[in-house]
A and B are shown apart, each in its own frame.
Chain A
Amino acid sequence: MSNGTVDGAPPEAASASKGARRPGARRRRPGELLGYVFIAPAVLYLAVFLLVPLVQGIAMSFTDTRLINPAGGEPVGFDNYAQALGADRFWNSLLATLLYTAATVAGTLALGTAAAVLVNRAFRGRALVRGLLTFPYAMPTVAVALVFAWMYNQSNGVFNRGLGVLGVGETGWLTDPNWGMASVVAATVWKVFPFVMLVVLAALQSVSAELYEAARIDGADALSTFRSVVVPHLAPTLRIVALLMTIWSIRRFEIIFLLTGGGPVEKTNTLVINVYRTAFSDQDLGLAAAIGALGLIVSLAVTCVFLLVERRESQREEAS
Chain B
Amino acid sequence: MISCSARRASLAVMAAGALALTACSGGGDDGDGTGSITFGNWQWLETGRGEAMWDAATAFEDAEPDIRLEKSETPFAQYADKLNTELGAGAGPDVFVVLDRQFATLAEAGLLEPLDDAVADADLNATNDNLNIDGEQLAVTWEQVSYALLGNANVLEEAGIEQMPTTVEELIAAGEQAEAAGFDGFAVRHQMNEYNGWAYDFPSWTYGYGGSWSDGENLTVDSAENIAGVSAYKEVFDAGIVPVGDDASTFRSKFKENQLAMIIDNSGTALSLTSDSQLTGQDLVSAPLPFPDPGAHQKLVLAVNANSDNKEAAKQFVSWAVSEEGQATLRPSLGASVLATDVPIDAEFAAANPWAETFVELGATNRSGLPAGFETEADPIMRAVLEQVERVITEDLDPAEAMRNAQAALEAD
Given contacts A67-B85, A177-B394, A282-B379, contact A153 B191 (CB under 8 A): no
- Stretch from B161-169, B289-297, B383-391 at the A interface: B383-391
Q: Give bound CA distance, A152 to B246, whole Å.
A: 10
Instruction: Say what secondary structure dominates the interface of chain A.
Output: loop
Please name the residue on chain A nearest to B187 by beta carbon.
Answer: A155
Please name the residue on chain B nearest to A264 by beta carbon.
Answer: B394
Contact present for A155 and B105 (CB under 8 Å): no
Given contacts A68-B109, A69-B109, A175-B394, contact A152 B245 (CB under 8 A): yes
Interface residues on chain A, number (Cβ under 8 Å)? 33
User: Closest CB of chain A to B384's CB: distance in Å?
Assistant: 10
| Contact pattern, B 357-383, Cβ under 8 Å of A = 1, otherwise 0 | 000000000000000000000011001
Which chain B residues lie closer than 8 Å to A175 at the CB level? Answer: 190-191, 244-245, 394
Instruction: Say what secondary structure dominates the interface of chain B.
Output: helix
Contact present for B192 and A261 (CB under 8 Å): yes
Contact present for B245 and A260 (CB under 8 Å): no
Contact present for B244 and A155 (CB under 8 Å): yes
Q: Does A257 contact B (CB under 8 A)?
A: yes
Q: Does A265 contact B (CB under 8 A)?
A: yes
Contact present for B245 and A259 (CB under 8 Å): no
Q: Give bound CA distance, A97 to B193, whole Å.
A: 18
Which chain A residues lie closer than 8 Å to B250 at the CB level? Answer: 153
Q: Give bound CA distance, A70 to B243, whole Å.
A: 41
Q: Does B411 contact A (CB under 8 A)?
A: no
Q: Does B73 contact A (CB under 8 A)?
A: no
User: Closest CB of chain B to A272's CB: distance in Å?
Assistant: 15
Contact present for A282 and B380 (CB under 8 Å): yes
Contact present for B81 and A280 (CB under 8 Å): yes
Q: Give bound CA distance, A277 to B391, whole Å.
A: 18
Given contacts A177-B394, A281-B81, contact A172 B245 (CB under 8 A): yes
Q: Does A263 contact B (CB under 8 A)?
A: yes
Contact present for A68 and B111 (CB under 8 Å): yes
Q: Does B194 contact A (CB under 8 A)?
A: yes
Q: Give bound CA distance, A207 to B84, whole Å.
A: 55
Contact present for B246 and A155 (CB under 8 Å): yes
Which chain B residues lie closer than 8 Å to A264 at the CB level? Answer: 191-192, 390, 394
Question: Of the candidates A67, A68, A156, A261, which one forms a contact with B191 in the assembled complex, judged by CB atoms under 8 Å apart?
Answer: A261
Q: Does A266 contact B (CB under 8 A)?
A: yes
Q: Which of A125-158 contact B (CB under 8 A)?
A: 152-157
Contact present for A265 and B246 (CB under 8 Å): no
Q: Give bound CA distance, A123 to B245, whole Å.
A: 42
Please name the residue on chain B nearest to A70 by beta carbon.
Answer: B88
Please name the residue on chain A nearest to B259 by beta carbon.
Answer: A156
Q: Give bound CA distance, A259 to B192, whole Å.
A: 10
Interface residues on chain B, number (Cβ under 8 Å)? 31
Q: Give bound CA distance, A259 to B193, whole Å.
A: 7
Given contacts A70-B88, A282-B383, A283-B105, contact A177 B191 (CB under 8 A): no
Q: Does A181 contact B (CB under 8 A)?
A: no
Q: Does B195 contact A (CB under 8 A)?
A: yes
Please name the residue on chain B nearest to A266 by beta carbon.
Answer: B387
Please name the residue on chain B nearest to A157 by beta carbon.
Answer: B245
Q: Does A199 contact B (CB under 8 A)?
A: no
Question: Of the candidates A70, A155, A176, A177, which one forms a contact with B184 in the assembled complex, judged by CB atoms under 8 Å apart?
Answer: A155
| Contact pattern, A 266-302, Cβ under 8 Å of B = 1, otherwise 0 | 1000000000010011110000000000000000000
Given contacts A68-B84, A266-B387, contact A172 B194 (CB under 8 A): no
| Contact pattern, B 109-120, Cβ under 8 Å of A = 1, otherwise 0 | 101000000000
Please name the residue on chain B nearest to A281 by beta carbon.
Answer: B379
Which chain A residues lie closer than 8 Å to B190 at the CB level? Answer: 175
Q: Give bound CA distance, A259 to B245, whole Å.
A: 10
Contact present for A67 and B88 (CB under 8 Å): yes
Contact present for A153 and B245 (CB under 8 Å): yes
Contact present for A70 and B89 (CB under 8 Å): yes
Which chain B residues lie closer than 8 Å to A157 at the CB level? Answer: 245
Q: What are 26 A-to-B residue pairs whose CB atoms are below 8 Å?
A: A67-B84, A67-B85, A68-B88, A68-B111, A153-B250, A154-B244, A155-B244, A155-B246, A175-B190, A175-B244, A177-B395, A259-B193, A260-B192, A261-B191, A261-B193, A261-B195, A264-B192, A265-B394, A265-B395, A277-B383, A280-B81, A281-B81, A282-B379, A282-B380, A283-B84, A283-B379
Q: Which of B's residues lie within 8 Å of A, judged by CB?
A: 81, 84-85, 87-89, 105-106, 109, 111, 184, 190-195, 243-246, 250, 379-380, 383, 387, 390-391, 394-395, 413
Supplied contacts A68-B84, A153-B246, A172-B245, 6 more A-B pairs, CB within 8 Å: A154-B243, A155-B244, A175-B190, A261-B192, A264-B390, A264-B394
A-B interface, 9 closest residue pairs, ranked by CB to CB distance from nearest: A261-B193, A154-B245, A263-B192, A280-B81, A155-B243, A68-B109, A68-B88, A261-B192, A154-B244
